[in-house]
Amino acid sequence: MEVQQDILTDLEDTTWYQDASTGIRLLHFIIDLFFIVLLVILANGFLFPEFTSDSIGERILIYISLLFYYALLETATHGRTIGKLVTGTKAIRVDGTEFSGKDAVLRSLCRLVPFDALSAISGQPWHDKWTKTRVVKVPR
């Protein structure tokens, strides 16, 4: 005898998320950018003043700060940064599996690709598309 499953029971186990709007994503990008600039200023002034005496050193410091900020925070908070905390959003995997440190690092590396930030104009930034992640509103 075949056992029928109740379709409503299946739906109860599914979590539904609403994608964050472009405006919300822009806002958390601006907030995160503020903290990245602050990190660069602190690193430049206190940790590596001699390293940034030329433009190549400055660029390397900016890239390292960006990688450090996004990878560390998104790993520690399972997909959130300060900007995402303020806007009530988080990054998740498209397939519904747990967001990992690997996802955070890959998203951070993709952000280094020139024009990644501008790719958000099309609706889905490259760092989301390439890593199969998305940014959603967090239920409060």
Torsion sign, CA atoms 105, 118, 97, 74: positive
HEC letters along the chain:
CCCCCCHHHHHHCCCCCCECCHHHHHHHHHHHHHHHHHHHHHHHHHHCCCCCCCHHHHHHHHHHHHHHHHHHHHHHCCCCCHHHHHHCEEEEECCCCCCCHHHHHHHHHHCCCCCCHHHHHHCCCHHHHCCCEEEEECCC
Tell me the pLDDT band of 2, cut-offs 50, 70 and 90.
low
CA distance 79 to 14: 19
Mean pLDDT of 20-40: 91
Torsion sign, CA atoms 97, 101, 107, 110: negative
Tell me the pLDDT band of 32, cut-offs 50, 70 and 90.
very high
- Please tell me the predicted confidence (pLDDT) of residue 13: 47
Question: Which residue is listed with tokens 């520690």?
Answer: 76
Mean pLDDT of 75-101: 92
- Please tell me the predicted confidence (pLDDT) of residue 12: 47
Q: pTM of the entire structure?
A: 0.78
Share of the chain above pLDDT 90, in %: 41
pLDDT tens column, 37-80: 998 888 777 766 666 566 777 788 888 889 999 999 999 999 99
- Give the bridge partners for 89, in sequence order: 137
CA distance 78 to 101: 8
Mean pLDDT of 13-21: 75
Mean pLDDT of 17-22: 87
- Give the bridge partners for 133, in sequence order: 93
